[in-house]
Copies of this chain bind each other. A is one copy, B any other.
Amino acid sequence: MNIAIVGVGLIGGSLALSLKELGIFERIIGVDKSKENQEKALELGLVDEFMSLDKAISASKAIVLAAPVDSIEKMILDVLNKIEDQIVVDMGSTKVRILNKIADHPKRGRYLAAHPMAGTEYSGPQAAIRGLFADKVMVYVEAFKTDEDAFELCDQIIERLHMKTVFMNALEHDMHTAYVSHISHLTSFALALTVLEKEKSHGRIFELAGSGFESTVRLAKSSSDMWTPIFKQNRENVLEVLEEHINQLKNLHDTLEKEDYTELKRLINRSNRIQRIIK
């Protein structure tokens, strides 16, 4: 039994490494439109060989889509049209649009929407890391629409990757990821732009950058090829959370401007409640 991974970058490449260790599949077949990625992935031993999408589909029991979400959206109907009883697992970061697109497809049951809440700010095959998925959350979206045998096969593998699982509907998923993932990237991009702009006029700004700054700005290294399509596909939720975040910042600004330090302290204390949630 073979598996095809479409998009051998951070997610696809890390998955390939884990699957190789588990030894569940005979061959791990890569599909990637970038020649450069293909060469790097082979050099790093992430996959056994590269094939065209069509050949990879016929040669595999399961096809994992780990490309940017706009590519997944473009290829999904074509992939579903071409499969017989293979399983298609979509690992993209947004789900509402793609699930609408395939809702009435005769092969809908062979498709599983799964979003691993795992990653780093790096991308490409060289960003693939061993053990990326261990102890992370895999979100299954509308999994009840996936055929039992297809879901079971995937879920058994996910369990062997030591992932926790959560079930959600597509609206919930896209709203929640806007709040705990997409907004984090936008604040990092904005923070990097703010400070880079200041450095241009004043210089020396970064001599004082410590670990706190690094931690809030590191996501600004993330790839625009991956993130622009995510913001596009999740536009309404992202705009909503951005507006709320800007309001919170404005409120902190106005509180400081009018020197209401009792209120400022209260707001900081309230934000401290985050420590009950993240360790």
A273 at the interface (CB under 8 A from B): yes
A188 at the interface (CB under 8 A from B): yes
A154 at the interface (CB under 8 A from B): no
Segment from A29-37, A94-102, A195-203 that makes contact with B: A195-203
Given contacts A208-B176, A264-B228, contact A194 B245 (CB under 8 A): yes
Given contacts A194-B248, A195-B180, contact A274 B221 (CB under 8 A): yes
| Of listed A187, A210, A212, A274, residue having the most chain B CB within 10 A | A274
Complex interface: chain B residues within 8 A of A231 (CB): 256, 264
Quick check: B249 and A246 within 8 Å, CB to CB? yes
Q: Please, which residue of chain B has its CB at the minimum distance from the CB of A121?
A: B212
Given contacts A218-B215, A228-B264, A278-B214, contact A180 B206 (CB under 8 A): yes
A187 and B271 CA atoms in complex are apart in Å by 11
Residues of A within 8 A of B (CB): 117-121, 136-137, 139, 166, 168, 172-173, 175-177, 179-181, 183-198, 202, 204-224, 227-228, 231-232, 235, 238-239, 241-246, 248-250, 252-253, 256-257, 259, 261, 264-265, 267-275, 277-278
A-B contact pairs, 14 of them (CB 8 A): A117-B208, A118-B210, A166-B207, A173-B208, A176-B208, A177-B208, A183-B195, A189-B268, A193-B270, A194-B241, A222-B272, A224-B268, A242-B256, A246-B249
